[in-house]
């Protein structure tokens, strides 16, 4: 890897610089690792124009075999460059190497899954009356705007990109400045795919929101696919309303983990720990609420405190690290403030993590895991997404109470149920307001199965066959035949 990294935008098949360049920073040390072009409205306009030209002039939207072949080539290239991507993702994003490897490893399978669907994206034809035939086509919407976050920039961009390409759309990606070097490495892969027409995939990197707003406001972008916060989703929906813009995406979450009195704690507690510490808690499906049957509360409290206090926090590249840094110091201080406010509001400290302010890691963005216990589920710490390694625990006495507590949230992205009973998990899962419910597991996601949220956690679905629905229009052609 070069000692000084440099990243630009990828627009219309070319590398494009900006007049404003910012520093990329290693969150483990706070030290700069390179610079990147920070885009804005002008770069977004260039990208939208390139994507529109490619949609109108290239063979992409009309050649489904090209749309099936190209993502397979792309998948091969991602696999060939996987370790390079893993290295830069771990350095710039901070997730430990096994987590970075897991993220990059999911890319090829997503591309191949939707490449196969490109060949099976069928409409339908029916005879609606004697001599009258109705054909319904599924046509690509046009230019899709894909806005992806910094916490998993590779796989979350590909998760929207792959179905958009399979549907025949061209894409303008707006990716975060905090992972600019990772974004550029992804674009190097796109540049290697000879069958990908120029302008079909475009990527603008920015730190703030000018480029995103320009994409959302453009009448040439009929669909926005977002992975981000619920607040950002609301803003995009409001801004896009003037163009009747379609919106789909996965938004915020406050995932409850329900531990019933017959849960296998030897299996459950390691998963609860992992659900909190994965990506340093910067994950939409982070297990941030723990609902525990009162009969096992003491065992869970003691066992989990022991596990969390033993978590090895360190640099992503250190094989001994179990949890890496957060994305930057500003987020560390934000999370610490949230914890202090929760304690002041009545939350009890089981184990107080907090920022590492002394020692060899003190210059990095490190925050140790924190476990709090509450009695009042309406406290902000139980209702608002923290996006950091903070877990709040509350006791329940009955199944109905557990369900009510789990559903007492503006979010509905995911939930996890732990029980050895045969009937209870399915019974409870049917009552939980969440797009994904795991039984005796957590964060198991497959390309073939839909993923998305209820309530403030999103609209539409990503992954699975349904993901293509966001990117197509239905056109009905009625043909009368003289018999």
- For the cut 80, the answer to whether the pLDDT of residue 442 exceeds it is yes
Does 463 share its domain with 352? Answer: no
Express each pLDDT in 286-337 by its tens digit: 999 999 999 999 999 999 999 999 999 999 999 999 999 999 999 999 999 9
Length of the chain: 483
192 included as an active-site residue: no
User: What is the spatial distance between Cα 483 and Cα 467, in angstroms, rounded to a whole number?
Assistant: 40
Does 142 share its domain with 10? Answer: yes
Q: Is residue 451 assigned to a domain? A: no
250 included as an active-site residue: yes
User: What is the spatial distance between Cα 393 and Cα 388, in angstroms, rounded to a whole number?
Assistant: 15
**pLDDT band, very low/low/confident/very high, at 123 (cuts 50, 70, 90):** confident
92, 103, 273, 284: which one is catalytic? 284
pLDDT at 346: 98
CATH number at 15 reads: 3.40.605.10
**pLDDT band, very low/low/confident/very high, at 4 (cuts 50, 70, 90):** confident
Q: Is residue 376 assigned to a domain? A: yes
Express each pLDDT in 106-120 by its tens digit: 999 999 999 999 999
CATH number at 292 reads: 3.40.309.10
Does 304 share its domain with 218? Answer: no
Does 50 share its domain with 178? Answer: yes
**Mean pLDDT across the chain:** 97
Where helices occur in 310-459 by DSSP H, the ranges are 329-344, 380-383, 399-407, 424-431
Strand partners of residue 50? none
| 440 backbone dihedrals φ, ψ, rounded to 5° | 55, 40
**pLDDT band, very low/low/confident/very high, at 3 (cuts 50, 70, 90):** low
Does 179 share its domain with 306? Answer: no
121, 250, 273, 451: which one is catalytic? 250
Does 439 share its domain with 466? Answer: no
- Cβ neighbours for 154, distance < 8 A, ≥ 6 positions apart: 85, 89, 103, 104, 107, 182, 186
Express each pLDDT in 58-111 by its tens digit: 999 999 999 999 999 999 999 999 999 999 999 999 999 999 999 999 999 999
Number of independent structural domains in the chain:
2
pTM, rounded to two decimals: 0.97
Q: Is residue 482 assigned to a domain? A: no
Does 157 share its domain with 299? Answer: no
User: What domain range is 312 assigned to?
Assistant: 255-446
Express each pLDDT in 386-436 by its tens digit: 999 999 999 999 999 999 999 999 999 999 999 999 999 999 999 999 999
- Cβ neighbours for 193, distance < 8 A, ≥ 6 positions apart: 70, 73, 74, 77
Does 223 share its domain with 275? Answer: no
Q: Is residue 217 assigned to a domain? A: yes
Give the lowest-confidence range in 124-138, 238-252, 299-313, 326-340: 124-138
Does 402 share its domain with 465? Answer: no
Does 214 share its domain with 236? Answer: yes
């Amino acid at each position: 890897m070069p000692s000084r990294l440099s990243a630009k935008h990828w627009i219309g098949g070319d590398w494009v610089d900006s007049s404003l360049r910012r520093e990329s920073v290693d969150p483990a040390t706070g030290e700069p690792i390179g610079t990147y072009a920070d885009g804005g409205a002008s770069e977004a306009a260039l990208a939208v124009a390139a994507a529109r030209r490619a949609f109108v002039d290239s063979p992409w939207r009309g050649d489904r075999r090209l749309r099936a072949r190209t993502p397979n080539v792309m998948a091969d290239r991602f696999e060939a460059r996987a370790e390079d991507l893993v290295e830069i993702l771990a350095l710039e994003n901070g997730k430990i190497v096994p987590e970075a490897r897991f993220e990059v490893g999911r890319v090829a399978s997503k591309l191949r899954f939707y490449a196969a669907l490109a060949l099976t994206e069928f409409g339908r034809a029916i005879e609606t009356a004697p001599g009258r035939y109705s054909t319904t086509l599924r046509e690509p919407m046009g230019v899709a705007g894909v806005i992806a976050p910094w916490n998993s920039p590779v796989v979350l961009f590909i998760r929207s990109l792959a179905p958009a390409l399979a549907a025949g759309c061209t894409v303008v990606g707006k990716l975060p400045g905090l992972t600019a070097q990772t974004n550029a490495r992804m674009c190097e892969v796109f540049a290697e795919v000879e069958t990908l027409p120029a302008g079909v995939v475009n990527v603008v990197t920015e730190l703030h929101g000018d480029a995103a707003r320009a994409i959302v406001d453009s009448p040439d972008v009929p669909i926005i696919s977002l992975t981000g916060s619920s607040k950002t989703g609301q803003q995009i929906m409001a801004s896009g309303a003037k163009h009747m813009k379609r919106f789909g995406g996965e938004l915020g979450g406050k995932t409850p983990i329900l531990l019933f009195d017959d849960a296998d704690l030897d299996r459950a507690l390691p998963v609860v720990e992992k659900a909190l510490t994965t990506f340093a808690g910067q994950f939409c499906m982070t297990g941030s609420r723990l609902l525990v049957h009162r009969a096992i509360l003491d065992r869970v409290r003691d066992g989990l405190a022991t596990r969390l206090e033993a978590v090895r926090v360190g640099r992503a590249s250190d094989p001994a690290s179990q949890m890496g840094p957060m994305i930057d110091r500003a987020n560390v201080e934000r999370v610490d403030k949230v914890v202090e406010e929760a304690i002041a509001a009545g939350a009890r400290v089981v184990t107080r993590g907090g920022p590492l302010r002394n020692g060899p890691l003190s210059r990095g963005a490190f925050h140790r895991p924190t476990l709090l216990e509450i009695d009042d589920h309406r406290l902000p710490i139980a209702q608002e997404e923290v996006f950091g390694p903070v877990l709040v625990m509350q006791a329940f006495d009955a199944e109905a109470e557990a369900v009510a507590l789990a559903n007492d949230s503006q979010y509905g992205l995911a939930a996890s149920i732990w029980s050895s009973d045969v009937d209870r998990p399915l019974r409870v899962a049917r009552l939980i307001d969440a797009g994904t419910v795991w039984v005796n597991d957590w964060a198991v996601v497959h390309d073939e199965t839909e993923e998305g949220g209820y309530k403030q956690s999103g609209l539409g679905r990503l992954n699975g066959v349904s993901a293509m629905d966001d990117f197509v229009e239905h056109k009905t052609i009625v043909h009368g035949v003289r018999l």
